[in-house]
Structure 1
Amino acid sequence: MTISITLVGATGWVGKELVRAIAAAPDLTLAAAVARQNAGQDAGPAVGAEALGVTLVASLEEALATPSDVVIDYTAPTVVKGHTLAAIGAGRAVVVGTSGMTGEDYAEIDAAARAAGVGVVAAGNYSITAALMQRFALLAARHVPDVEVIDYASAKKPDVPSGTARELAERLSAIRQEPTSRPIGSLIGPQEARGATVGRTQVHAVRLPGFVLSCEVLFGAPDERLSIRHDAGSSAAPYVAGTLLAVRRVREQPGLRRGLDTLLD
């Protein structure tokens, strides 16, 4: 059975690669696509591909007028929550590739998805190797209580921490043991130097030229340390396979699943 897709953010960094990949996949079809600045153009030529017969529209509201099975969102932190709730309200399963939402946002989305009986998959990073980093880190956290996350990104990235780091920190917080490090409130000096507390995990966001996206998980134990790190390159290609895996699996169960690693088995 062919899965029909509404793609929001079709001419963005990942969106362009997804348009090409969906067009090439025998079990997928692009039903509608949103790209505000390119509205009115055919989605194919807009991303440097052959014509697809799908006209880009300026808003998700317009795109939802065309039937589809799954909505993929690769837009901006300021609009992704609204897009996700609107898609759920229209009875569509959703694959969320945009970062910037909080744990409270995801709880609201999970409740809405369960009420509507639709599935949502959200991941801070759809790279398979990034998902493996998260899987390994969650395993390590069951054995080593002291863990912190360092989030690296370009100087222009607007959200802190990245979706990869936020998702990882929140999931680590749910399973980790009590740390042995001194409580933040008992420290002398600027407490901000210890980073932000996300859940029960400290996250340090570095924003510098030269980085694309990197995430490092540091574990410390007496007389030893463990570092698990993922570094992304400049291409969006690594995120395509994971996103399409989520598209093919998102309708299996209602409610929210966070993290691509939840789909790997």
Structure 2
Amino acid sequence: MNNPIKVAVTGAGGRMGREVVKMVLEDPELRLVAAIDHSGDGRDAGEMVGLGACGIKLTSDLELALVEGQPDVMVDFTIPQAVMGNARTAIKHKVRPVIGTTGFRPEDIEELDRLCKAQGIGGIIAPNFSIGAILMMKFAAQAAKYMPHVEIIEYHGDQKLDAPSGTAVKTAELISQNRQELRQGNPNEEETIEGSRGGYYDGFRIHSVRLPGVFAQQEVIFGGYGQTLKIRHDSYERAGYMPGVNLAVKKAMGLDGIVYGFDHFID
């Protein structure tokens, strides 16, 4: 077997980060070499996820962890305020970023793409690593060719920091590739409560629901004469994202520059 891919996990102590740590430790083709978390409390990463000691301790010093661990790939599930700095640091050390944190602007992606290419490496930014969610996006993009009247409703827990979700934005981008801008609804409609029609994107609306008890769901609703089409995806636990993250880590090794969206790897 070839040498395992060496992986650093940023945000390792978070709920998603722990799933990534567990996934890496359970795959013989991967090797955990660094676990970075703002707490940096020195816990063993393996013990943290219930797999027994692995010898990798949680640290808050990203740069030192990259220098000492020399990872091939850094998986980042942190927060929008931290992810750009983390990615710049990783790329500086020729570590390929695989990023599930959302909140990126187009200019952020362009910057990271430029930095990666200058270092001769690649990386992946994906608003969603769920195979089912990617299929939902692809089905929605296909449907938009024939049913241009559409709205998106996305549901997340009340602690999510960005709205709309990265998944909703990516879905909207894919829909817009197959649909001319079309202002929907009555041209004389008036919002009696500001924002009640949702966020405007290329002629259609995106609605963000934030409630405790909700994990992650999205519904894309198409309307036509005498009919509607609803495409919905529901996520129930974070482990459902791990097959996609695993594939992304392995795909990143052969990329040049940043790929935005996991849909590029699902035919």
TM over 0.5: yes
Give 1:11's match in structure 2, choosing from 10, 13, 38.
Answer: 13
**2:249 is aligned with what amino acid?**
V
Identity of aligned residues (%): 38
Query: CA offsets per residue over residues 83-127 of structure 1, 9 Å max, x none?
Result: 122212221211111112233322332233233332121211211
Equivalence for 1:222: 225
Distance in structure 2 (CA, Å) of the matches to 1:141 and 1:36: 42
SS of the residue corresponding to residue 83 of structure 1 reads helix
Query: CA offsets per residue over residues 197-254 of structure 1, 9 Å max, x none?
Result: 3465421101122311111111122222111111111x21101111011001112221
**1:72 is aligned with what amino acid?**
V
Q: Please say if residues 39 and 59 of structure 2, whose CA atoms lie closer than 8 Å, have aligned partners that are also in contact.
A: no
**2:22 is aligned with what amino acid?**
R
Name the CA shift for 1:210/1:176 in 2 (closer, same or farther; >3 Å): same
Distance in structure 1 (CA, Å) of the matches to 2:150 and 2:88: 33
**1:208 is aligned with what amino acid?**
L
* Stretches of structure 1 lacking an aligned partner (at least 5 in a row): none
Equivalence for 1:140: 143
SS of the residue corresponding to residue 29 of structure 1 reads strand
**1:211 is aligned with what amino acid?**
V
SS of the residue corresponding to residue 64 of structure 1 reads helix
Pairing of 1:185-264 with structure 2 (within 5 A): 187-189=189-191, 192-198=195-201, 201-233=204-236, 235-264=237-266
* Stretches of structure 2 lacking an aligned partner (at least 5 in a row): none
Pairing of 1:118-133 with structure 2 (within 5 A): 118-133=121-136
Residue 47 (structure 2) pairs with residue 45 (structure 1): yes
Residue 71 (structure 2) pairs with residue 68 (structure 1): yes
**1:39 is aligned with what amino acid?**
D
Query: CA offsets per residue over residues 129-180 of structure 1, 9 Å max, x none?
Result: 1111112112212332222211111122221112211222233233322325
**1:206 is aligned with what amino acid?**
V
Q: Please say if residues 95 and 246 of structure 1, whose CA atoms lie closer than 8 Å, have aligned partners that are also in contact.
A: yes
SS of the residue corresponding to residue 238 of structure 1 reads helix
Name the CA shift for 1:59/1:195 in 2 (closer, same or farther; >3 Å): farther
Root-mean-square deviation (CA), in Å?
A: 2.0
**1:118 is aligned with what amino acid?**
I
Pairing of 1:30-109 with structure 2 (within 5 A): 30-65=32-67, 66-109=69-112
**1:11 is aligned with what amino acid?**
G
SS of the residue corresponding to residue 100 of structure 1 reads coil
1:194: Cα distance to partner?
2.0
Kindly tell me the number of residue pairs found equivalent between the two proteins: 263
Give TM-score, length-normalised by structure 1.
0.91
**2:18 is aligned with what amino acid?**
K
Give 1:170's match in structure 2, choosing from 173, 188, 210.
Answer: 173
Name the CA shift for 1:124/1:201 in 2 (closer, same or farther; >3 Å): farther
Give TM-score, length-normalised by structure 2.
0.90
Name the CA shift for 1:59/1:174 in 2 (closer, same or farther; >3 Å): farther
**1:9 is aligned with what amino acid?**
G
Distance in structure 2 (CA, Å) of the matches to 1:28 and 1:126: 18
**2:80 is aligned with what amino acid?**
P
